[in-house]
Amino acid sequence: MSFARDAATHAYYRARAAEYDDWWNGTGLYTARQRPGWDREVEALVAVVAGLAPARTLDVACGTGFLTRHLRGLVIGLDQSPEMVAIAQSRMADGVAVVGDALDLPFADGAFERVFTGHFYGHLVPAERERFLAEAGRVADELVVVDSAPRAGEPREGWQERRLRDGSRHRVFKRFLTAGDLVRELGGGEVLFDGDWFAAVRR
């Protein structure tokens, strides 16, 4: 995921592109983190994404394409960060990654069969959520949302300070969502994954 309208967060995700996959792979700054069951859940989540039926899909805030590359069918990845898009494109042998605004999608009504988004929805404040859901519904009938599940003893939402390998610190808004939370907020849907680390719902 990578998206932000404010300059500071935009700069954060551009700077983070080269190390974004450390979060998925447990490398870099994440090497010493204790995340029981993480690798198993990442593998299971990838299987869920790969198991989606082939479709004309737009992956909004595709980031480095870590999940995008497992989608089947004609896939377009969209991200605000040219650095993220360059990495995603290198992973998409049969797809295209483009720079664009996730809240003002540069595509015609009904251009896709599915909108997919991973670890993006949980970064949106209320007005942005409404805008994103309206845009997703405009360009496709189906929406699949993947995000981070809540952790016991940690805040469910708020502004976080994020640190990069160069020591720079950045402020980012983040919510953690259960599959049930997503079903309610999306106005219904099918639970695709409901784990300790990840949740995924299809509307």
Residue 133 has pLDDT above 90, yes or no: yes
Residue 1 has pLDDT above 50, yes or no: no
**Rounded CA gap, 24 and 155, in Å?**
21
pTM of the model: 0.93
- pLDDT, residue 161, reads 85
Residue 10 has pLDDT above 80, yes or no: no
Does residue 130 form part of some domain? Answer: yes
For the chain, what is the mean pLDDT?
93
Residue 165's pLDDT band, with cuts at 50, 70 and 90, is confident
Residue 7's pLDDT band, with cuts at 50, 70 and 90, is low
Does residue 184 form part of some domain? Answer: yes
10 Å CB burial of residue 158 (0-12, 13-18, 19+) is exposed
Average pLDDT over residues 101-114: 97
Percent of the chain at pLDDT exceeding 70 = 96
Residue 192 has pLDDT above 80, yes or no: yes
Residue 62 has pLDDT above 70, yes or no: yes
**Rounded CA gap, 59 and 105, in Å?**
11
Residue 6's pLDDT band, with cuts at 50, 70 and 90, is low
Q: At CA 83, angle to CA 82 and CA 88, rounded to 5?
A: 90
- pLDDT, residue 176, reads 97
- The enclosing domain of 193 has a CATH number of 3.40.50.150
Domain that holds residue 27: 7-202
The answer to whether 1 and 21 have CB atoms below 8 angstroms apart is: no
Does residue 1 form part of some domain? Answer: no
- pLDDT, residue 8, reads 62
For residue range 136-146, list pLDDT tens digits in order.
999 999 999 99
Does residue 121 form part of some domain? Answer: yes
Number of structural domains found in the chain: 1
Does residue 63 form part of some domain? Answer: yes
**Rounded CA gap, 92 and 201, in Å?**
24
Does residue 2 form part of some domain? Answer: no
Residue 2 has pLDDT above 50, yes or no: no
